Structure 1
Amino acid sequence: MKTYQDIKSAATIDAIIPYVEALLDIRFKCVKKNRYNAPCPFHADTKENFMVYVNKEDEVRFHCFGACKGDWDIADLIMLRKKYPFRRAQQVWAEHLGVAEFTFDDGRSPCIPEPDETAEPDEPVGFVEPKQPDEKMVATLDDAASFYHELLMSNEDRFRTVWDYLARRGVEKDTIRRFNIGYAPPYSDEQHHGRALIAGILPRVEKDPGIFNAFSDAGLVRFLNDGSVKGYGYYSRQIDFRRKDPFSRNYGDYFAGRMVFPIYDADAGVTGMVGRRPESRGVRWLKHQAREVPLSAKSWLYGIEKAAPYIRQYRTIILVEGLFDYFAFYNLLQGQDKLVVASTLGSYLTPEAATILKGLDIENYIAAYDWDELGRNGIERAAVQSGGWVYYLGGLADGQDPYDKLEPVVSAISGFSLQHL
């Protein structure tokens, strides 16, 4: 009885080549005996980096010497293309060869996770030392923010779940417009398939491939065949072999499935983005990170572009943890011309953000963080970073929001002092 090794040996290479050509819609060029090359179908390959060869174990292997660095056997390719489990992929290949009985490899593919074993992940994004993004990257981020915003604004009925979620959190249509909030449809979306932004820029990319590089370098698209990332099993299943162009086949929108909140600096220049799922599961937030020119999330202060003039006037700032904490105070303060609130996007005022705030001549800091361990630690760190008075909201009851504490005393905010609070 044949083994799995037998049905992928060098003796099967003449059957493997035409099968893989049809499977992946590529054409191989014979370089020499048992050696073939083709453009890699798993990334935007402009050269023939996809190689077929026979290794020392007499096994036919596929390897990309280009961007994706992938390494597969015939079953791996069937798993990727057909979304089959390892055992089923072996069986499909054996049946194609006319092998009625063989001994399965009962292990797991070392390259491809089993289908459905990896859910959509929320990978944490590490911080980097701040670097000044160039004008091209800022323009690219602004372009993407506007695209997602227009997509959300023009599809109220289609994205009703998103609109309803934002409304429940106090973010109404006028606020969505003011803050350029958008939405990136998920991979399960029947129209966009997690590629709304990519489809939007594709006509420009066809004329100038460098445009795609700008969006990739800005961290706005995700390479789906990156075996080094958390959730590779999930993303590799999103490769869409029905698409002819390599960009929309092998890449997806980085924020697919999330509401998109652009982050601006005090001069209203976009410096990054934050994504949030419109449902409460897993780690719901995703911070954006650029590739080639890292954008430091350490200096992010959500809403600072709206608040800066008022902060200078009242010499006061209210620091909150989350975006929806921010919108609660925004709705309260904007009508009183006291919009002195910004979100640190977490219970931590970083030295980089503190430096920005010191440039606004702030005398009084109100740290409206939750009264849990993280919040209390954040208040202490804010006191160290600010170098001034820091007021905090002690004694919050379980489930009580900082907004509930501050709302009755907002009228005390003046251009003089908050000590009577």
Structure 2
Amino acid sequence: MKTYPTIKSAATIDAVIPYVEALLDIRFKFVKKKRYNAPCPFHADTQEKFMVYVNKEDEVRFHCFGACKGDWDITDLIMLRKKYPFRQAQQVWAEHLGVSDFTFDDGRSACISEPDETPEPDEPVGFVESKQHDQQMVATLGDAASFYHELLMSNEDRFRTVWDFLARRGVGIETIRAFNIGYAPPYSDEQHHGRALIASMLPRVEKNPGTFDTLSDAGLVRFLNDGSVKGYGYYCRQIDFGRKDPFSRNYGDYLAGRMVFPIYDADAGVAGMVGRRLEDRGVRWLKHQAREVPLSAKSWLYGIEKAAPYIRQYRTIILVEGLFDYFAFYNLLQGQDKIVVVSTLGSYLTPEAATVLKSLEIKNYIAAYDWDELGRNGIERTAVQSGGWVYYLGGLADGQDPYDKLEPVVSAISGFSLKHL
């Protein structure tokens, strides 16, 4: 009776090599007894960092000593390539070896989740400060924002659920155009497979490989075989072995499956992006992660490029928490020629964002935050940061939105006094 350890022991290595070569479309080079190297199929490897060896437990293992640092046995590779569950991967390998009298391991793979077991993860994303201004990266962010916008605008019927979602939230076609809002199709999309931006950039990457580094550093693509991230079991199953180029095979669009809202600075330069799921579950908002960008996410103010001229005129600003709060006020204020609203993308004004606003010589701050604990704390923190008069909307009833309170008195914004509020 053969067992799971038996079918991946050193005795199987002569069968393992040609099988994995065919499975992953690679060619191994003999290094020494029971050791072979090849370019890693899970990232853009040109130095043969993918090693086959026998460990101290007499088990055939595969390890990448390059970018992805992956470590697998033969059944892990079958699970990755074929999208099979652990038990079926064992069976496939046993049958390849001609083993019929076999006892299955009823456990699970140590590193690969069962297919469809791990959903798309919720993952709040950190943000690394920039060390230097990189104009090429700013240009790449701008190109990506325009690409996602054009993709949404040219596929109104195909992405009907996105258009309907935005319409329900008061974001119509003119607003979509004005704010360059876009959409990144998900991995489940039959046409784009979570790689719409990557596919559009592939000719540039093939012409100039350095373009890939800019996309990666800008946080616009995701390495799918990164075992250190939350949801690795989900992302590694998105590796597409049917694609020959390592870039589109092993990477996906970072904001795949989300509406894309570009963030601009006061001079209308792209500073970053925020993605939002269509579903109201988990962590719906995702700030894109970048290694080197000119503006910290802490200073992001959504809508500042639209508000800056009016802020200087009225010396007043309305601070709201979320993007859809922002659009509610924007729709009201643009008709009165008083676009003095920005979203702080959270329930308080950061010191970095306060510095941006102080440069506009604002006198009056209206903190239109929700009347919950976070909102009230945000109002107090805004008062500390602002350096001006801070007005707030107290006494909100359950279910009442700040917009409902402020709408009737927007006419009081005159640039000189807000005592009516």
Smaller-chain TM-score bracket: over 0.9
Could you tell me the TM-score, scaled by structure 2's length? 0.98
Work out whether residues 271 and 293 of structure 2, in 8 Å CA contact, stay in contact via their aligned partners in 1: no
Q: 1:241-288, CA deviations, whole angstroms, 9 ceiling, x for partnerless residues?
A: 111111111100000000000000111111110000122222111011
Work out the CA distance in 1 between the residues paired with 2:419 and 2:63. 68
Percent identity of paired positions between Structure 1 and Structure 2: 89
Q: Secondary structure at the match of 2:47?
A: coil
Q: Secondary structure at the match of 2:338?
A: coil
**Structure 2 residue 278 is matched with structure 1 residue 281:** no
Work out the CA distance in 2 between the residues paired with 1:128 and 1:242. 34
**Structure 2 residue 68 is matched with structure 1 residue 76:** no
Q: Secondary structure at the match of 2:46?
A: coil
Work out the CA distance in 2 between the residues paired with 1:308 and 1:14. 69
Deviates more, 1:237-246 or 1:124-133: 124-133
Query: CA shift at 1:91, angstroms?
Result: 1.4
Q: Which residue of 2 aligns with 1:197?
A: 197
Q: Which residue of 2 aligns with 1:401?
A: 401
Query: CA shift at 1:126, angstroms?
Result: 2.2
Work out whether residues 310 and 340 of structure 1, in 8 Å CA contact, stay in contact via their aligned partners in 2: yes
Q: Secondary structure at the match of 2:26?
A: coil
**Structure 2 residue 49 is matched with structure 1 residue 45:** no
Deviates more, 1:3-12 or 1:354-363: 3-12
Q: Which residue of 2 aligns with 1:300?
A: 300
**Structure 2 residue 71 is matched with structure 1 residue 103:** no
Give every structure 1 segment of 4 or more consecutive aligned residues whose post-TM-superposition deviation is greater than 6 Å: none
Work out whether residues 132 and 292 of structure 2, in 8 Å CA contact, stay in contact via their aligned partners in 1: no
Work out the CA distance in 1 between the residues paired with 2:11 and 2:126. 47
Structure 1 pair 375/130, CA: closer, same or farther in 2 (3 Å)?
Answer: farther
Work out whether residues 264 and 304 of structure 2, in 8 Å CA contact, stay in contact via their aligned partners in 1: yes
Query: CA shift at 1:110, angstroms?
Result: 1.5
**Within-5 A mapping of 1:321-400:** 321-400=321-400
Deviates more, 1:43-52 or 1:195-204: 43-52
Query: CA shift at 1:289, angstroms?
Result: 1.7
Q: Secondary structure at the match of 1:62?
A: strand
Structure 1 pair 130/371, CA: closer, same or farther in 2 (3 Å)?
Answer: farther
Work out whether residues 118 and 231 of structure 1, in 8 Å CA contact, stay in contact via their aligned partners in 2: yes
Q: Which residue of 1 aligns with 2:188?
A: 188
Q: 1:389-418, CA deviations, whole angstroms, 9 ceiling, x for partnerless residues?
A: 110000111111111111111111002011
Q: Secondary structure at the match of 2:317?
A: strand
Structure 1 pair 399/133, CA: closer, same or farther in 2 (3 Å)?
Answer: farther
Gap regions ≥5 residues in structure 1: none
Structure 1 pair 17/130, CA: closer, same or farther in 2 (3 Å)?
Answer: closer
Gap regions ≥5 residues in structure 2: none
Work out the CA distance in 1 between the residues paired with 2:115 and 2:295. 34
Query: CA shift at 1:31, angstroms?
Result: 1.7
Q: 1:362-413, CA deviations, whole angstroms, 9 ceiling, x for partnerless residues?
A: 1100000011111111111101111221100001111111111111111110
**Structure 2 residue 270 is matched with structure 1 residue 270:** yes
Structure 1 pair 304/146, CA: closer, same or farther in 2 (3 Å)?
Answer: same
Alpha-carbon RMSD across the aligned residues, in angstroms, is 1.2
Work out the CA distance in 1 between the residues paired with 2:177 and 2:80. 40
Deviates more, 1:31-40 or 1:228-237: 31-40
Aligned residue type for 1:220: L
**Within-5 A mapping of 1:234-249:** 234-249=234-249
Work out whether residues 130 and 298 of structure 1, in 8 Å CA contact, stay in contact via their aligned partners in 2: no
Q: Secondary structure at the match of 1:342?
A: strand
Query: CA shift at 1:77, angstroms?
Result: 0.3
Q: Which residue of 1 aligns with 2:21?
A: 21
Q: Which residue of 2 aligns with 1:230?
A: 230
Q: 1:118-139, CA deviations, whole angstroms, 9 ceiling, x for partnerless residues?
A: 1101211124446554111111
Aligned residue type for 1:166: L
